[in-house]
């Protein structure tokens, strides 16, 4: 195999694409330009232009007809008139429903991100420090839920948290009611009464937090793992040799070095959580206001397309800074991965 037979060279294979290439070259197109142009054109048409269209329609008003919004440009008497309505944006700032939905979305996304980080970090660290064999198995276990349906995982939670669901049945089974009774007998006088079983979890903000953490946890763990697995063990040993306690070592070495992973993971949870629709509508109650849901209702229930477009633009403004943070953090994660 390794020797090179001069007398019998491998038969030269003729492949059609060289001819295709010559044909393109003849009209002045290099293969390289075509490779770039195809995805660039697709993304321009189906990503960039749609965003511009959303912005344009956010400046129209609702109208009965098809399509259900007013034209920005109208012609008549030999003039072209451009009509821009700012009323949708004015409403976003003056209507307390929108303001509340925005603030609530940011609050819910933020708190969920913190909890995902608190749960995901130890898991990622544990996986990064385990032996090669275990590491692959555990990573597979983290990735597996991500491949199963997002919608069905949210649905799985509804069966878990409802009044006669698994959690409540489990708590009843282990006699948790006695713990509640005991607690209430001791501390209940101060107004810290604990509700008795079954706990009401569904259709509350709590269920939304659980839902976001549950579905986005793999997105938190994976960048953290990528970051932590590159951590130089010698640094930790040096710290221990110098008498650093585990806590101290963690806060002065491990945590600072894993910051890119922390930021990337957090943004991967925070950004989609802001615009989440499925989770608040299946797990949250009617009072769980989130912008994704408001946009959906504005579009499907009120058929106010321009208002929905304005909500989308405002949502975009909220997620732009996190997206830039994410980009920077991901570059940093990849850099550390590359230098090692």
Partner 1 sequence: MRRGWFLPTMAILGFVFLYAPIISLVVFSFNESKLVTVWSGFSTKWYGELFADPQMLGAAWLSLRIAAVSATIALVLGTLCAISLVRFRRFRGRTILSGMVSAPLVMPDVITGLSLLLLFVGMESILGWPAGRGMLTIILAHSTFCMAYVCVVVQSRLADFDMSLEEAAMDLGATPARVFFDITLPIIAPALVSGWLLGFTLSLDDLVIASFVSGPGSSTLPMVIFSKVRLGVSPDVNALASIIIGIVALGVFAATIFQLRSRPKKARA
- What is the token pair recorded at 229? 């697995």
Instruction: Using CB under 8 A, pick the residue from 23, 29, 67, 95 that binds partner 1.
Output: 67
Instruction: Using CB under 8 A, pick the residue from 150, 183, 192, 251 that binds partner 1.
Output: 150
Closer CB to partner 1, 181 or 200, in the complex: 200
Closer CB to partner 1, 194 or 278, in the complex: 278
Which range binds partner 1 by CB under 8 A, 85-93, 173-181, 184-192, 300-308? 300-308
In whole angstroms, what is the distance from residue 3 CA to residue 13 CA? 20
Determine, following the binding rule CB under 8 A, whether residue 141 of this chain makes contact with partner 1. yes
Give the shortest CB-176-to-partner 1 separation in angstroms: 17
CA angle 263, 268, 273 (to 5 degrees): 120
Determine, following the binding rule CB under 8 A, whether residue 138 of this chain makes contact with partner 1. yes
Give the shortest CB-187-to-partner 1 separation in angstroms: 26
Determine, following the binding rule CB under 8 A, whether residue 214 of this chain makes contact with partner 1. yes
Give the shortest CB-309-to-partner 1 separation in angstroms: 7
Helix (H) or strand (E) holding 325: helix 305-339
In whole angstroms, what is the distance from residue 106 CA to residue 100 CA? 10
Closer CB to partner 1, 16 or 191, in the complex: 16
Which range binds partner 1 by CB under 8 A, 14-22, 89-97, 171-179, 191-199? 14-22
Instruction: Using CB under 8 A, pick the residue from 205, 284, 292, 304 that binds partner 1.
Output: 292
Q: Taking a C-beta distance cutoff of 8 angstroms, is the pair 306, 85 a contact?
A: yes
Which range binds partner 1 by CB under 8 A, 84-92, 172-180, 188-196, 292-300? 292-300
Q: Interface residues for partner 1 in 156-185 (CB under 8 A)?
A: 156-160, 162, 164-166, 169
In whole angstroms, what is the distance from residue 186 CA to residue 175 CA? 18
Determine, following the binding rule CB under 8 A, whether residue 271 of this chain makes contact with partner 1. yes
Strand, helix or coil for residue 319: helix
In whole angstroms, what is the distance from residue 221 CA to residue 261 CA? 9
- What is the token pair recorded at 73? 């440009």
DSSP one-letter code for 144: H
Overall residue count recorded for the chain in this entry: 340
Give the shortest CB-146-to-partner 1 separation in angstroms: 9
Closer CB to partner 1, 30 or 193, in the complex: 30
Determine, following the binding rule CB under 8 A, whether residue 61 of this chain makes contact with partner 1. no
- What is the token pair recorded at 241? 């040799």
Closer CB to partner 1, 36 or 179, in the complex: 36
Q: Interface residues for partner 1 in 99-118 (CB under 8 A)?
A: none
With CB under 8 A, what is the number of residues at the site for partner 1? Answer: 92
DSSP one-letter code for 190: G
Q: Which residues, 6+ apart, have CB-to-CB distance to 98 below 8 Å?
A: 91, 92, 291, 294, 311, 314
Determine, following the binding rule CB under 8 A, whether residue 276 of this chain makes contact with partner 1. yes
Closer CB to partner 1, 166 or 259, in the complex: 166
For residue 21, the Cα-to-chain-centroid distance in whole angstroms is 41
Neighbours of 314 (CB within 10 A): 18
In whole angstroms, what is the distance from residue 289 CA to residue 311 CA? 13
Give the shortest CB-316-to-partner 1 separation in angstroms: 6
């Amino acid at each position: 195999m390794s020797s090179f037979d001069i007398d019998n060279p491998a038969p030269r294979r003729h492949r059609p694409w060289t001819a295709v290439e010559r044909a393109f070259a003849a009209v002045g197109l290099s293969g390289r330009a075509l490779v770039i142009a195809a995805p660039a054109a697709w993304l321009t048409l189906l990503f960039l232009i749609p965003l511009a269209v959303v912005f344009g329609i956010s400046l129209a008003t609702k109208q009965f007809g098809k399509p259900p919004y007013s034209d920005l440009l109208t012609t008549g008497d030999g003039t072209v008139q451009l009509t821009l309505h700012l009323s949708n944006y004015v409403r976003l700032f003056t209507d307390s429903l929108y303001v509340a939905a925005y603030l609530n979305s940011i609050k819910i996304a933020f708190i969920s991100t913190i909890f995902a980080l608190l749960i995901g970090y130890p898991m990622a660290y544990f996986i990064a420090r385990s032996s090669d064999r275990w590491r692959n198995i555990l990573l597979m276990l983290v990735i597996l839920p991500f491949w199963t349906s997002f919608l069905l995982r949210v649905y799985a939670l509804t069966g878990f948290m409802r009044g006669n669901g698994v959690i409540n049945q489990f708590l009843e089974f282990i006699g948790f009611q006695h713990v509640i009774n005991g607690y209430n007998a001791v501390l209940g006088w101060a107004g810290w009464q604990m509700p008795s079983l079954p706990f009401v979890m569904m259709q509350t903000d709590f269920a939304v937090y659980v839902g976001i953490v549950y579905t986005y946890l793999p997105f938190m763990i994976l960048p953290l793992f990528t970051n932590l697995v590159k951590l130089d063990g010698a640094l930790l040993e040096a710290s221990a040799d110098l008498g650093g306690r585990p806590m101290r070592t963690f806060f002065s070495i491990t945590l600072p070095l894993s910051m890119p992973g922390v930021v990337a993971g957090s943004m991967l949870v925070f950004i989609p959580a802001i615009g989440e629709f499925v989770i608040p509508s299946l797990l949250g109650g009617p009072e769980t206001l989130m912008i994704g849901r408001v946009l959906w209702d504005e579009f499907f229930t009120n058929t106010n397309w321009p208002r929905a477009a304005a909500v989308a633009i405002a949502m975009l403004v909220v997620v732009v800074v996190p997206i830039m943070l994410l980009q920077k953090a991901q570059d940093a994660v990849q850099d550390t991965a590359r230098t090692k």
